[in-house]
């Protein structure tokens, strides 16, 4: 099977893009009251970019965990409890469904109202909370923005300091959002991180070897959701004595794909992403290292 080196080589182009994206994000942060960092509920740690916390500094910072419908429900509850314990505001949402501005306002209003009240006491005009969102590719930034904003009535015109082409969008009466979510690429500190990003679809499929990612997925499901794996691919207990590679070859046969394990790998990846094997969360709190959130 193809090696991990593929990915290490292919991601060389990230630093230049990253530097530009960081500069842009720094400018945007200076214009807002609060930053919404959109992260994936299946990888709440891996989909963070450490630069966001550094750039955001003392400014309030809300984690919006998208794709909770695709994640392991209990794991999401544990992550939310963890963030709460660390004083880090966070909400988990299915951005495609049952998600609206009140989910966000109920968390950010209490955080922001002292600042806005102080401004009013000083005689400044009552104004909405201003926010910008940021996140790794494909995490759901546009979906979140579109749910929060009523596009027809959205634009509020140019403001000084906003990059040409950027606008503020109204999200109800109490919130304004910069129209373009910032894209910050994740840090590929290890192959494990790259595998998690690939399996959840944050990295384009063309940059990884599908069999490596399918094997990574199989390993996770075999360890944590064995029943779903058995049911989906009609496996029996004895099949779990096989190595991961042999299990992939067996599934390839069971899918009627003879020895085309590449095609079977792509099918497995799609099955996992489309929740055909149930909700899953790849980042586990037990594996957490110190210094993972800004408040640690
Ligand atoms: P981005 O701006 O961060 O790049 O992400 P975007 O909003 O484009 O979302 C990427 C994909 O993730 C989209 O699917 C979107 O529908 C899906 N998505 C976003 N949030 C959620 C969520 O909370 N739950 C689920 N299940 N999916 C979510 P797509 O396949 O690229 O497009 P489409 O098929 O939805 O049109």
Q: 290 by DSSP, 3-state: which?
A: coil
Domain boundaries 2-8+190-273, CATH class: mainly alpha
Residue 34 has a pLDDT of: 96
Indicate which residue's Cα is closest to atom 18 of ligand 1. 140
Indicate which residue's Cα is closest to atom 36 of ligand 1. 143
Instruction: Tell me the domain boundaries of the chain.
Output: 2-8+190-273, 16-187
11 pLDDT higher than 60: no
Confidence of residue 167 (pLDDT cuts 50, 70, 90): confident
> What is the length of the chain?
296
Are 35 and 246 a contacting pair, CB within 8 Å? no
Residue 218 has a pLDDT of: 97
7 pLDDT higher than 60: no
Residue 105: phi and psi, rounded to 5, are: -60, -35
Indicate which residue's Cα is closest to atom 28 of ligand 1. 67
Q: 37 by DSSP, 3-state: which?
A: strand
Pick the CATH number of 16-187 from 1.10.357.10, 2.60.15.10, 3.40.50.300, 2.60.120.10: 3.40.50.300
Indicate which residue's Cα is closest to atom 15 of ligand 1. 140
Residue 22 has a pLDDT of: 87
When pLDDT is averaged across residues 46-58 and rounded to a whole number, the result is: 90
Considering only 72-81, 101-110, 146-155, 211-220, which range has the smallest mean pLDDT?
146-155
Tokens encoding 281: 């969360």
How far, in Å, is the centroid of ligand 1 from the Cα of 296?
30
Q: What is the DSSP letter of 236?
A: -
When pLDDT is averaged across residues 221-238 and rounded to a whole number, the result is: 96
Distance CA 88, CA 109 (A): 15
Classify residue 15 by burial, with Cβ atoms within 10 Å: 0-12, 13-18, 19+. Answer: exposed
How far, in Å, is the centroid of ligand 1 from the Cα of 141?
8
81 pLDDT higher than 90: yes
Which atom number of ligand 1 is nearest to the Cα of residue 38?
A: 3
Residue 289 has a pLDDT of: 56
Residue 58: phi and psi, rounded to 5, are: -80, -10
Tokens encoding 181: 């979510």
Residue 237 has a pLDDT of: 95
Residue 261: phi and psi, rounded to 5, are: -70, -20
Residue 28 has a pLDDT of: 92
89 pLDDT higher than 50: yes
Which atom number of ligand 1 is nearest to the Cα of residue 144?
A: 7
Confidence of residue 10 (pLDDT cuts 50, 70, 90): very low
Confidence of residue 286 (pLDDT cuts 50, 70, 90): confident
238 pLDDT higher than 70: yes
How far, in Å, is the centroid of ligand 1 from the Cα of 143?
6
Range 108-113 contact pairs with CB under 8 angstroms and sequence separation of 24 or more? 108/34, 108/60, 108/62, 108/175, 109/174, 111/34, 111/60, 111/62, 112/33, 112/34, 112/60
Confidence of residue 188 (pLDDT cuts 50, 70, 90): confident
Tokens encoding 40: 């994936």
- Which of 204, 186, 100 has the alpha carbon at shortest distance from 145? 100
As for ligand 1, residues whose beta carbon falls within 6 Å of it are 66-67, 69-70, 93-96, 135, 137-143
Kindly provide the residue ranges of all beta strands, DSSP E only, lying in the chain, ordered along the sequence.
34-40, 61-66, 90-92, 129-135, 168-171, 175-178, 182-183
Distances (CA, A) of 76 to 67, 167, 194, 243: 10, 33, 21, 30
Residue 182 has a pLDDT of: 82
Residue 179 has a pLDDT of: 84
Number of Cβ atoms within 10 Å of the Cβ of 220: 20
Q: Which strand (E) or helix (H) includes residue 269?
A: helix 261-273
CA quadruple 198, 203, 204, 205: dihedral, nearest 10? -10
Provide CB contacts within 8 A for 274, sequence distance 6+. Answer: none
How far, in Å, is the centroid of ligand 1 from the Cα of 235?
31
Mean pLDDT, rounded, of the chain: 87
Residue 48 has a pLDDT of: 92
Distance CA 220, CA 214 (A): 10
Confidence of residue 107 (pLDDT cuts 50, 70, 90): very high
Mutate which of 67, 98, 140 for ligand 1 pocket (most atoms within 8 A of beta carbon): 140
């Amino acid at each position: 099977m193809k090696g991990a080196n593929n990915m290490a080589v292919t991601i060389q182009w990230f630093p230049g893009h990253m530097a530009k994206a960081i500069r842009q994000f720094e400018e945007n942060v200076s214009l807002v009251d609060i930053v919404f960092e959109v992260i994936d509920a299946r990888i709440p740690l891996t989909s963070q970019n450490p630069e966001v916390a550094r750039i955001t500094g003392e400014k309030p910072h809300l984690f919006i965990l998208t794709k909770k419908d695709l994640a392991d429900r209990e794991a999401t509850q544990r992550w939310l409890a963890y963030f709460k314990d660390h004083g880090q505001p966070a909400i988990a949402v299915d951005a495609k469904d049952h998600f609206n501005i009140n989910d966000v306002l109920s968390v950010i209003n209490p955080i922001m109202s002292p600042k806005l009240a102080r401004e009013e006491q000083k005689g400044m005009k009552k104004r909405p909370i201003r926010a910008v969102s940021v996140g790794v590719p494909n995490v759901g930034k546009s979906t979140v923005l579109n749910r929060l904003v009523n596009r027809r009535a959205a634009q509020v015109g140019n403001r000084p300091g906003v990059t040409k082409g950027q606008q503020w969008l109204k999200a109800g009466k109490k919130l304004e959002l910069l129209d373009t979510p910032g894209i910050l690429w994740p840090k590929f500190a290890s192959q494990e991180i790259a595998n998690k990003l690939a399996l959840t679809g944050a990295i384009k499929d063309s940059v990884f070897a599908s069999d490596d990612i399918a094997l990574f997925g199989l390993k996770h499901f075999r360890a944590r959701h064995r029943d779903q794996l058995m049911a989906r691919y009609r496996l029996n207990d004895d099949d779990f004595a096989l190595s991961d590679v042999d299990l992939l070859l067996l599934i390839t046969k069971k899918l009627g794909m003879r020895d085309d394990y590449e095609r079977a790998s792509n099918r497995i990846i799609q099955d996992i992403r489309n929740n055909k094997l149930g909700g899953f969360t790849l980042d586990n709190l037990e594996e957490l290292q110190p210094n993972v959130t800004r408040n640690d």
